[in-house]
Structure 1
C-alpha cells in the first residue's frame, strides 16, 4: 500500500474456500484480466442501449476494449504513475478510448459507463490478487454507482448529481467529484474506503 494510514485487516482463509468463492463470482480466472473485465462489464451492460446491433458486433467491441484495458493496465505501476495528476490523465485517456470504440459502432457510451468498466476492472484485479497496485493504490478512482452516491452524500456531505451514474458524460465533473471525495478522506485511500462503505450501503439497502 502506498497510502501511509491504510489499515488492512488480514485474515487466514482456507485456500479451497477462497478458490471456490473466486470461481463462483468470476468464473474461469485463467486469464485474470479477461475475468475482471467480464465481471465489470456485467456490472454496467444493462445501461447500454444496443438496439438491434448484432451480437457479433457486441463481442467485437468487448474484445477491443479488453485489448485496450490489458495494454493500459499493464502500464499502471509506480514507474509510470508518479502522481495523482498523471493517473487522472491516464484514466481520462483510457475513458476516451473506450467511448470511441463504442461510438464507432453507433452506440452511445458515456463517461459514467466508461469509469464503471475501468474502475471495477481494476478493483476486481485487486480482489483476484493478481495486481497489488503498490505505489499507485492511493491514486485509484472509486467506481461510481448509486450505492456510492448515497454513501458519499450521507457520510461525506457531497451532494449526489441529478443524473444517473450511467448517463454522466462530463469528465471534468467526474474528476471534480473524485477529487472532492479524496479531499474528505483523511489517511485512507479512496478505493479502500469504497470497499468498506459500498458493502455497508448494500447491506443497509437489504435491511
Structure 2
C-alpha cells in the first residue's frame, strides 16, 4: 500500500477540453472517512533549457491568459498523443525559437501542481544549438519573442517577476548551480 493512499470510490468527469479535463473523485481517506478531490488531467509536457555556446539561456516571452500578463519562460509545450518526450522537446525548441540542437540531454521529470493536477514536465537541456533553415511554424494562436540572457540577467528576471513560473525558475537555478558565474 502507498503511504497515506486515498482510494477512489467514484469518479465523475465534469469537463473535457482540447488540452485538459476536470474530474471530481470521491475518495476514501486513510482514516476511513470520505472526501472529494477536484483533479485536472493533462497529457504532460516538456520544457527545454537551451544553452548557447556562450553560456546564455534562450527564453521566450509570451502572454499567458490565466495570469493576464506576459511572462518569460524556457521553451515548452504539451506532449502530443503517442509522441516521445524527446521528440516533443526538439519540436518545441524549433517551433518557439527557430533553433535545433545537436545535444539534447534528459534532466528530470517533475509534477507541476500535484495538489490538483496530474501534469508532469519532462525537462531537457539543449546544447550545440544551430539555426533551422526551414523553421517550423508556431501554433496559430501562439506569439513569442525570443531572448538570450545571461544567468545574472535571468536571476534578475526572477526577482522582478518577469520570470514567474516554476519550470523557468528551476531552469535558472539549475544554470546557476551547474554553470556557475
Given the two structures, how large is their TM-score scaled by the length of structure 2? 0.28
Please say which structure displays the higher CA radius of gyration. Answer: 2
State TM-score, norm by structure 1: 0.26
> Which one has the bigger helix percentage?
1
More strand by share: 2
